Structure 1
Amino acid sequence: MGAQVTVVGGGAVGLTCALAAIDDGWRVRIYDDGPQRRAAQVAGGMLGCLGEAGPGDDALLELSAESVARWPALLARLNDPNIVVADDTLLIAGSAADRAYLDDAVAFLQARLPGARIVAQSASELRAREPALTRAPSGGYRLTGEGAVDNRAFLAALRRRLVDAGAELVERRVDDVADLAGEATQVLIAAGLESSSLVPGGLPGLRGEKGEILRLRRTAESVPPPRHVIRGRWHGRNVYLVPRPGGLVLGATQYESYDHSDRGPQAGGVADLLTDACELFPGLRTYELVEVSAGIRPMSDDGLPIVRRLDDRTIVAAGHGRNGFALSPGTAQQVRKLLGSPADYERNTA
């Protein structure tokens, strides 16, 4: 039958790691308790190597850059034209103070990644790229190659590829990894925030951060959705607009979550997103608001994902925060190294 990896968690990280394990010759079984609890279901899907990191985030930037470089190969493997929704990002400032904030962030990025393709843009240059933008931005930057994927299309394509490759997907909640003792030679815990409850003693430093995502659909009277990812620093707040077929998603709210079962959107967060987005992209006022969701992102204290071996049978991959999609291929590579090959495992346990 061969050695088996059992993955607990069906989000972007768990599924990407599962595909890498299959590539290395492991049999794979995945336990997933449904989309309602996945942070990956409520996500913008930005491949944020540059747009997410700022001064002080040197280690995260390095990790993100390495992982984002692996995305083209993963996308080629999935071979689905519906996954990629944008190739570039526009950073847009709403005021002089916002522009100064972006200038500092870009100076950090250019110092750490001198090869990054970052070009300053005037207000008129930004509007030439996105004609539906407000007439009053204070300039910004274009990040070439800083794209985004449709999170739900990516997850669906990845699940199809896994099934085609022989993985077994089981829709069932796992409350105790000890229940898997009879079926798995190796267990990967990749269940987001709930990973902590599956580890004896928990995962110190793993906490929840709540954020809203709004989905809007274009109507017959609406301007077209943007062609770029738009990341606004808008009068002291962050807002992002990410294209989707026939519409877009809005996000950027984040605040501590002490009740991890609470996935109800907060009125204030929704109001802030709509206010800022409609000022930045006024044509959104004629779009239909078709979904308001909230997710709990698994955050670590230092902002870096927790990827390590817990014992000779168990590996954990959690704490990716806002960067789960961007960091998935890099995390899969880390997990591959921790797993080794099934042949090596069988020799060592013979």
Structure 2
Amino acid sequence: MGDPIKQQTSRPTLAVVGGGVIGLTCALAAADAGRRVQVFDAGARDRAAWVAAGMLGSLGEGHPGEDELLRRTVESVRRWPALVERLADPSIMAAHDSLFVAASSADAEHLRNLADFVWSQQPRVADDLRPVNAGDIRRLEPVLGSRLHSGYLVRGEGAVDNRRLLDRLREALLAAGGSVVDRRVGDLSEVDADDVVVAAGLGTRALLPDIGLHAAKGEILRLRRTRWSVPPPTHVVRARMRARSVYLVPRDDGIVVGATQYEPFEESSAAPEVGGVADLLADAVDLMPGLRTYELVEAGAGMRPCSADGLPIIDRVDERVVVATGHGRNGILLAPYTAERVMELLDEQRPTASASASAGGENRC
């Protein structure tokens, strides 16, 4: 049995398999609740969160037919300020509001349908969502192109710096008495703890073969500002351009551009594709012409773990193991919601082995 953590303490012990945003947020919540926590981290470069823009927006993720996912994203967005306060680093926030823009009347109709769906499902967000015209867009973000049609300003839907977030989560966990082991777990029998949370993204399949996941590939570009460049936008800019979506997310030193998504996806090819990168750059430069003077410093592809119905899988597997995976494009956004639900499962009465088997995972969140 490797790396035991059940030693010299009466506190319940928890092992978290997976050192991404989901795993670390769950681990921190457990440590704050008094558990002795150890995280097994397979490495930052293996995490979808490393190649991400960190957007926290329910409007952008609210698509007709995804009513339940929208409900959860709205709940999670409202929990993010408390998590940022817990991490004691306001600079985690890369932007506080989002500006949705359309390049044409057809693109504007697409955004209007999204807004109507969100309004119909979540009336509370109406006060945070305001239509804007071309003049408003120019006043809000002068760096954008002059031929945009219309859009929406969404208050409170910003973005986090994903890599800074990963660092701060790990630091906060260590300060709370948790520990991190930089090692891949090959079998849950290797882990000695009262409870285990498996938050290993696509790696969950090797540990829990009955958990149904597939990969979706998303490409992200990181652009660095030069001394000749116009500054990044102050909002998250999410645009509909020629029936394609592109977004610009500010960073201290530049902009993150995204994102493509290929689903289903052949996992043997994890490198960015030329066509996807070319489309992103073309749309981004049309949206913000001043990007021509930025430097392209990184083109990355992340493997997003997706469930069959698009909802995250947060459930108790047996009397010892809880799983938290399948967040798809919303892993960072749903982290506070997931941590809260995982803690509820850990604090519930553990089912017997026979009861767990008969449940068959039907209590999925």
Alignment TM class, shorter chain as reference: over 0.9
Q: 1:186 to 1:211 in 2, by over 3 A?
A: same
Identity %: 52
Q: Distance in 2 between matches of 1:235 and 1:275?
A: 11
Following TM superposition, the consecutive aligned residue runs of length 4 or more in structure 1 with deviations greater than 4 angstroms are none
| 5+ long unaligned stretches in structure 1 | 346-350
Q: Distance between the aligned counterparts of 1:146 and 1:82, measured in 2?
A: 16
Counterpart-to-counterpart distance in 2, 1:326 and 1:249: 16
Aligned residue number for residue 79 of structure 2:
70
* Structure 2: runs of 5+ lacking an equivalent: 1-8, 351-365
- Does the aligned pair in 2 maintain the 1:257–1:296 contact within 8 Å? no
| Counterparts of residues 46-61 of structure 1 (less than 5 Å) | 46-61=55-70
Distance 2:307 2:62 in 1: 15
SS in 1 for 2:123: coil
Partner in structure 1 of residue 183 of structure 2: 172
Paired residues for 1:222-261 under 5 Å = 222-256=229-263, 258-260=265-267
Q: How much does 1:81 deviate?
A: 2.7
CA offsets per residue over residues 175-215 of structure 1, 9 Å max, x none?
111211xx21111000111111110x3312x1100011110
Tell me the distance in 1 between the aligned counterparts of 2:86 and 2:278: 39
After TM superposition, list the pairs within 5 Å mapping 1:102-141 onto structure 2: 102-116=111-125, 117-141=128-152
Q: Provide the residue aligned with 1:296 in structure 2.
A: 303
Q: Which has the higher contact order (CA 8 A, sep 6+)?
A: 1
- Give SS of 2:124's match: coil
Offset at residue 263 of structure 1 (A): 2.4
- Specify the code of the residue in structure 2 equivalent to 1:147: G
Aligned to 1:273: 280
Instruction: State the Cα distance separating 1:16 from its structure 2 match.
Output: 0.4
C-alpha distance in structure 2 between counterparts of 1:4 and 1:160, whole Å? 19
Q: Deviations over 1:127-175 (max 9, x none)?
A: 1110011111111110111110000011101100000111110000111
Give the TM-score normalised by the residue count of structure 1: 0.95
Moved more, 58-67 or 47-56: 47-56
The match for 1:348 is none
CA contact (8 A) 2:230 2:290 kept: yes
Residue among 301, 314, 326 paired with 1:307: 314
Q: Is the 8 A contact 1:54 1:108 kept in 2?
A: yes
Aligned partner of 1:47: which letter? L
Deviation at 1:259, TM superposition (A): 4.0
> Alignment RMSD, CA only?
1.2
The residue that corresponds to 1:213 in the other structure is 220
Count of residues paired in the alignment: 339
The answer on whether the counterparts of 2:132 and 2:150 sit within 8 Å (CA) in structure 1 is: yes
**Is residue 167 of structure 2 the alignment partner of residue 156 of structure 1?**
yes
